[in-house]
């Protein structure tokens, strides 16, 4: 049986960051008890049809799950470990923002069973934090990282780079400062303009200008070099880890494993009775909770993923990883031979030009290929 990765979405934030298109909502008052009960009910509903499968990881994402009451996290983990069969080294991650209020709850989250935190630091520069609309200061971020190090054997944090006007020199300096504080994992994302965000409006009006593709490529190369100097290697386009520190939960997505998504807007891919189901929950928090209260789950859409679509999805995910795609697993998981899923001419050219490589039963994108992955995939996926 495919081990399961379990994602639980907490949809609320203190404020909306101007670059963010996640399913996050700001409310004056949150009915914690109602949302805790709805999450537990939807988890029980999903588990009833999945059966007592091996559970490899749990990930509390958002939104800002560090705004959850620790007792809600404890209750959901007690449910998950009763309803599924936890693997001995189960990874339990919670995303947290480094405000002082949330940092003060980290010990309680650990006591609730969380064994890994991922902190939304985003920058160590005060002016950049202000422009990114973050609620915390650089000093608070550093204090939260120190605390995470004391409390958890494993922790990660996120930074956003390729910001307006950022030079390779200033990014290298900021990144080095961050790497001094790093645990076993870092997520380093380039700033992108997402539809419907405040940054999109500024960008459209010419008031926010991102580095062009060449400048962004230079910053990407600098990122990999600096991270490697501190022993953190790129195992995915935007994720860096010490060997063994990779996010097991996120690896389940990229390796196209089974994952169940609980909570408003959460997506899942779960094997049920020989079919692979794509599941999506209702996005808006209150209507989602009403649906759960009425029928036990807040599913907005559920479809069986056909073999050709499975192949496309697994390619888009797997080539993000430096380990690439296991050819035998690809055929077993999708029902399509890898060669059948690729445009033969593009494959030949990409291999000859050094953007892809194959060997040892795997197909992988080279570092140069991962740098231009979107264009490569657009041509490659038949
Ligand atoms: S805290 Fe995170 S999820 Fe919430 S709005 Fe900001 S970036 Fe989005």
pLDDT in tens, 222-272: 999 999 999 999 999 999 999 999 999 999 999 999 999 999 999 999 999
- Is the distance from the beta carbon of residue 203 to the nearest atom of ligand 1 less than 6 Å? no
Q: CA 312, CA 333: separation in Å to the nearest integer?
A: 12
- Residue 2, pLDDT score: 84
Can you tell me the mean pLDDT for 77-100? 96
- CA–centroid distance, 17 to ligand 1, in Å, is 5
Ligand 1 pocket mutation, candidates 12, 13, 62, 192, criterion most atoms within 8 A of CB = 13
3-state secondary structure of 301: strand
DSSP string, 334-358: HSS-HHHHB-HHHHHHHHHTTSEEE
pLDDT > 90 in the chain, percent: 97
Ligand 1 within 6 A of 63 CB? yes
End-to-end Cα spacing for the chain: 30
Residue nearest to atom 8 of ligand 1 (CA): 20
Is 114's pLDDT higher than 80? yes
How large is the average pLDDT for residues 154-179?
97
Measured between alpha carbons, how far is 208 from 205 in angstroms, rounded to an integer? 8
Q: Assess whether pLDDT exceeds 80 at residue 1.
A: no
- For the CA of 97, the nearest atom of ligand 1: 1
Which helix (H) or strand (E) element contains residue 278?
strand 275-281
pTM of the model: 0.97
SS3 202: helix
Beta-strand (E) ranges in 144-205? Answer: 154-161, 185-190
pLDDT value at residue 238? 97
Pocket test for ligand 1, best of 24, 94, 99, 101 (most atoms within 8 A of CB): 24
Q: Ligand 1 within 6 A of 24 CB? A: yes
Q: Determine the pLDDT at residue 382.
A: 73
Residues making up the chain, counted from first to last: 382
State if residue 23 touches ligand 1 by the CB under 6 angstroms criterion: no
- The stretch 339-345 carries a mean pLDDT of 95
Regarding the beta carbon of 189 and ligand 1, being less than 6 Å apart is answered: no
Of 94, 91, 99, the closest CA to residue 65 belongs to 94
Q: For ligand 1, atom 6, name the residue with the nearest CA.
A: 17
- Looking at the predicted structure, is the pLDDT value of residue 160 above 90? yes
**Contacts made by residues 332-341, CB under 8 angstroms, sequence distance 24+:** 333/256, 334/256, 334/307, 334/310, 335/307, 335/310, 336/307, 336/308, 336/310, 336/311, 338/311, 338/363, 340/311, 340/382, 341/308, 341/311, 341/312, 341/315, 341/381, 341/382
Distance 12 CA to ligand 1 centre (A): 9
Contact 202, 208 (CB under 8 A): yes
């Amino acid at each position: 049986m495919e081990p399961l990765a379990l994602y639980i979405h907490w949809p609320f934030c203190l404020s909306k960051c101007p670059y963010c298109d996640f399913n996050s909502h700001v409310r004056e008052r949150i009915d914690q008890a109602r949302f805790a009960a709805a999450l537990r009910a939807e988890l029980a509903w999903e588990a009833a049809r999945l059966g007592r499968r091996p559970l490899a990881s749990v990930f509390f994402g958002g939104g800002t799950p560090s705004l959850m009451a620790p007792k809600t996290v404890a209750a959901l983990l007690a449910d998950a470990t009763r309803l599924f069969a936890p693997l001995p080294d189960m990874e339990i991650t919670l995303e947290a923002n480094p405000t002082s209020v949330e940092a003060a709850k980290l010990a309680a989250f650990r006591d609730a069973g969380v064994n890994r935190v991922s902190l939304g630091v985003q920058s160590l520069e005060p002016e950049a934090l202000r422009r990114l609309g973050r609620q915390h200061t650089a000093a608070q971020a550093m204090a939260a990282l120190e605390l995470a190090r004391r409390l958890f054997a494993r922790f990660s944090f996120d930074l956003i780079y390729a910001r307006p006007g950022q030079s390779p020199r200033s990014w290298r300096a900021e990144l080095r400062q961050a790497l001094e504080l790093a645990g076993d994992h870092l997520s380093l994302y380039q700033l992108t303009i997402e539809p419907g965000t405040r940054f999109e409006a500024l960008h459209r009006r010419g008031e926010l200008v991102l580095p062009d593709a060449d400048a962004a490529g230079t910053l990407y190369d600098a990122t990999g070099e600096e991270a490697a100097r501190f022993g953190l290697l790129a195992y995915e386009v935007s994720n860096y880890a010490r060997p063994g520190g990779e996010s097991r939960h996120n690896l389940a997505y990229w390796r196209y494993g089974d994952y169940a998504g609980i909570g408003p807007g959460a997506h899942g891919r779960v094997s049920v009775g020989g079919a692979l189901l794509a599941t999506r929950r209702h996005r808006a928090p209150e209507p989602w909770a009403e649906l759960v209260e009425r029928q036990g789950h807040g599913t907005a859409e559920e479809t069986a993923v056909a073999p050709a679509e499975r192949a496309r999805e697994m390619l888009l995910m797997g080539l993000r990883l430096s380990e690439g795609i296991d050819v035998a697993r690809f055929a077993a998981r999708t029902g399509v031979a890898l060669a059948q899923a690729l445009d033969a001419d593009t494959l030949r050219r990409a291999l000859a030009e050094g953007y892809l490589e194959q060997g040892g039963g795997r197909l992988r994108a080279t570092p140069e290929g991962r740098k231009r992955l979107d264009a490569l995939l657009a041509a490659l996926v038949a």
